[in-house]
Amino acid sequence: MTSKVLLVDDDVAVREALAQTLELNDLEAVTAASFVVAKDHITPQFDGVIVSDIRMPGRDGFHLLDYAHEIDGELPVILLTGEGDIPMAVRAMGRGAFDFLEKPCAAADLLAVLERALKTRALVLENRRLKVQLESGDPAARMLFGSSPQSLELRAKVRSVAPTGAEVLVTGAPGSGISKVAEVVHLMSEVGQGAFVKRPGAGLTATEFDALCNAGAGGSVFIDEVSALPEATQYAVLDRLERGAGTRMIAGSTADLAKLVDAGTFNAGLFYRLDVMRVRIPTLSERREDIPELYQHYVAQAAEQAGIEAPELSSDHLAALMAQDWPGNARSLMSAAMRFVLGMPEEVTESAGLGLAEQLAQVERSLLIAALGRQNGRAAAAAQALKLPRKTFYDKLTRYGIRPEDYRRPGRAVDEV
């Protein structure tokens, strides 16, 4: 829930006393001595509420109330009135004030009203965020492609960690799309409308990291290849996170950080801080059935970038792609799509050199594994899904050395007949 309060009062003593009360109760006070100063903070994205005195020189509290509701009609404004000034209070409520309090107001009364106002504001902003997602589509669905069980689990994991606000560690093989997954985590978080600042960890100094946090205030900072951070910077990052970074921290790594910790080359404290929320990206070899969908998307994207019509894709072409291991993962598949669009599909030519029987065998094996994965290792269900007689299916498993139990996920019941 948001905790920001914009305090507007021309009396410096009152303003400072109210600010101190808020800070003692873990609320963030933003102070302003006049409407002119306060108006720069009032935007539709302002993630807080306003408390303002009514009687001020120049533009008074009623003018501020009207201005705030012109900018955002759902922004709670609490007005402070003089003691016993009931007509003024009635006028305030009639003009749309969230509530009013008499000066001097008791801390308990102020905090009770603020709690209601902040909950209301948080609900409004959350509803707006959900509405934007509904209108534009879920970022995980729009940006993370694939229909395999591994891809479904990846999207589910991203959706579960994004709203938490905690640090996130995104891991995967080189070229698997760590940066994109980190961006989706950012977009689906409560700070998704804020900045997404990214920087490679290699050579990043402590001073530069502080500058990144300042640039990403109200948003997220993504450090790619966090394992490459200099030792001094690792300590600085941990210290800043423990003190409060003021931004969402997302780290990416293709290296096994646990092994680096054991080897003494990565800060253990920082690793355990980052590893609370981990998102692992599966390799393409783990989800071969996604390759046609991904490749078609990349071909369409490459054709649009090149300003030419996307070439047709044959089933043989897609089969050849599925037969490869793709150690470079999504990045190398994307490069292959660009080369194909430009008339240079050497990957397919190389796979074709394996011979048709070898290519078909690789594709058949991957389809068997994919079916078992979708059915949680249930061989009978996988055979039915592939429309194969059970004996034929088991013969193929034996031929390729595939064991159904290797594809059963913990926590899922298996009823095999």
How many Cα atoms sit within 13 Å of 396 on the Cβ side? Answer: 22
Topology (CATH level 3) of domain 3-132: Rossmann fold (3.40.50)
* Residue-level pLDDT at 87: 79
* Residue-level pLDDT at 353: 54
* Residue-level pLDDT at 405: 83
**Above pLDDT 70, what percent of the chain?**
89
Instruction: Give 67's pLDDT tier (boundaries 50, 70, 90).
Output: very high
- The chain-wide mean pLDDT, for the chain, equals 87
Instruction: Give 89's pLDDT tier (boundaries 50, 70, 90).
Output: confident
Task: Give start and end residues of each alpha helix (H) in 263-324.
Answer: 268-274, 291-306, 315-322
Average pLDDT, integer, range 265-279:
94
CB 5 within 8 Å of CB 21: no
Average pLDDT, integer, range 82-103:
80
* Residue-level pLDDT at 414: 45
The pTM assigned to this predicted structure is 0.55
Q: Is the pLDDT of residue 367 over 60?
A: yes
Q: In whole angstroms, give the CA distance from residue 258 to residue 267.
A: 10
* Residue-level pLDDT at 349: 47
Q: In whole angstroms, give the CA distance from residue 367 to residue 327.
A: 19
Domain with CATH 1.10.8.60 in the chain: 284-352
Q: Is the pLDDT of residue 270 over 90?
A: yes
CB 23 within 8 Å of CB 47: no
Smallest CA-to-CA distance from 92 within 100, 83, 102 is with 100
Instruction: Give 344's pLDDT tier (boundaries 50, 70, 90).
Output: low
Pick from 189-193, 258-262, 363-367 the range whose average pLDDT is largest: 258-262
Instruction: Give 64's pLDDT tier (boundaries 50, 70, 90).
Output: very high
* Residue-level pLDDT at 236: 94
Q: Six-digit token pair at 266?
A: 């990565």
Average pLDDT, integer, range 101-111:
88
Q: In whole angstroms, give the CA distance from residue 283 to residue 146.
A: 12
* Residue-level pLDDT at 134: 60
Q: In whole angstroms, give the CA distance from residue 322 to residue 85.
A: 77
Q: Is the pLDDT of residue 162 over 90?
A: yes
* Residue-level pLDDT at 417: 39
**Above pLDDT 90, what percent of the chain?**
54
* Residue-level pLDDT at 306: 65
CB 10 within 8 Å of CB 3: no
* Residue-level pLDDT at 60: 87
* Residue-level pLDDT at 168: 96
* Residue-level pLDDT at 83: 61
* Residue-level pLDDT at 361: 76
CB 150 within 8 Å of CB 373: yes
Q: Is the pLDDT of residue 160 over 50?
A: yes
* Residue-level pLDDT at 118: 93
Strands (E), 139-239: 168-171, 196-200, 220-224
Average pLDDT, integer, range 61-87:
86
Domain with CATH 3.40.50.2300 in the chain: 3-132
Q: DSSP label at 190?
A: T
Burial 78-112 (b: 16+ CB within 10 A, else e): bbbbeeebeebbebbeeeebbbbbbbebeeeebee
Q: In whole angstroms, give the CA distance from residue 90 to residue 84.
A: 11
Q: In whole angstroms, give the CA distance from residue 50 to residue 6.
A: 5
Average pLDDT, integer, range 182-203:
94
Does residue 292 have a cis peptide bond before it, meaning omega lies within 30 degrees of 0? no
CB 382 within 8 Å of CB 414: no
Dihedral sign computed on CA atoms, order 358, 363, 366, 368: negative
Strand order across the 168-171 sheet: 196-200, 220-224, 248-253, 168-171, 277-280
Which residue would you say has higher pLDDT here, 208 or 131? 208
Which residue would you say has higher pLDDT here, 126 or 195? 195
CATH 3.30.450.40 describes domain 144-282: no
Q: In whole angstroms, give the CA distance from residue 150 to residue 255.
A: 20
Smallest CA-to-CA distance from 379 within 406, 404, 342, 347 is with 404
Q: Is the pLDDT of residue 311 over 90?
A: no
Instruction: Give 360's pLDDT tier (boundaries 50, 70, 90).
Output: low
* Residue-level pLDDT at 309: 78
Give per-residue pLDDT as tens, 115-140: 999 999 998 988 887 776 665 568 88
CATH 3.90.550.10 describes domain 284-352: no
Q: Is the pLDDT of residue 277 over 80?
A: yes
